[in-house]
Structure 1
């Protein structure tokens, strides 16, 4: 009996935008903003498209609402990412070493700053700081595994 075989590979596209603002801190911050902002905007748009398709009707109002939500989500998460990347890089420069502690401190500072900017009470700011530090540190350790 004849046998057939299929071989192939799957790779994800790599899009890299290089923006040189003359300062590594600014370069990393803008890069983080653009990359994570694009991911957040895409996720938001995909979610809204799903709801529109499920409902079965597209109107100009739906389109405008989707566009506003997409831009808002992209700007919010891009800003959070930019602040985090800047904080982590700043910690690396201040401490003179590159390790997981930079991620922890950067995550804590970013969580606290973003929460405080949202006019949250002190308990919420502390909880968000702890969450930011935990997520950043976990991401750093996962990065070591790959």
Structure 2
């Protein structure tokens, strides 16, 4: 007799949407873009919903503004995540090992690239590289705790 079951938990959401680009680097980069871009867009949706509930009304203009903001934030968050995932994977391939140092390298490169693309000053690019490396390393260490 066929049986099916569902298992999962609040602590570990699992969403798998795989688009095969024919290259592991491209697959991981696109996956990071889509997943984290969705998180960024949903953050805007939740924030704007809160503001609409607080005001007690919504207009077509506000709705259109929210959709545009969701797309912009989703694309930004997705781009940052895609660059990070790609850089971390690249560091892993170059170094030939999988450890926290890849997160540090990927985060630092991502911070520098995103900052440079925003036409920031040289000092700001360096600071953002340091911040990106620190955040990525901290996230990696948190993954080891769980």
TM-score by length of 1: 0.91
Please list the CA deviations of residues 63-116 of structure 1 after superposition, one character each: whole Å capped at 9, or x if unmatched.
010000011000000000000000000000111111111100110000000000
- Three-state SS of the structure 2 residue aligned to 1:106 is helix
**Aligned twin of 2:99:** 99
Aligned to 1:116: 116
- 1:16-62 CA-to-partner distances (Å, cap 9, x unmatched) read 11111110000000000000000110011110111011111110100
> 1:145 Cα deviation (Å)?
1.0
Runs (4+) of structure 1 moved beyond 3 Å?
Answer: none
**Distance in 1 between the 2:81 and 2:71 partners?**
15
1:79-90 superposed matches below 5 A: 79-90=79-90
1:127 paired to 2:127? yes
Q: Which runs of 5+ in 1 are unaligned?
A: 1-8
Match of 1:76 in 2: 76
Q: How many aligned residue pairs are there?
A: 138
- Higher mean alpha-carbon deviation, 52-61 vs 109-118, is at 52-61
After superposition, where does 1:8-19 map in structure 2 within 5 Å? 11-12=9-10, 14-19=14-19
Distance 1:125 1:97, change over 3 A: same
Give the match for residue 4 of structure 1. Answer: none
Secondary structure at the aligned position of 1:43 is classed as: helix
Task: Return the offset for 1:14.
Answer: 2.9
Q: How many angstroms does 1:10 deviate by?
A: 7.6
Query: Where does residue 136 of structure 2 map in the other structure?
Result: 136
TM-score (norm 2): 0.91
Q: Give the deviation of 1:15 after TM superposition.
A: 2.2
Structure number, greater radius of gyration? 1
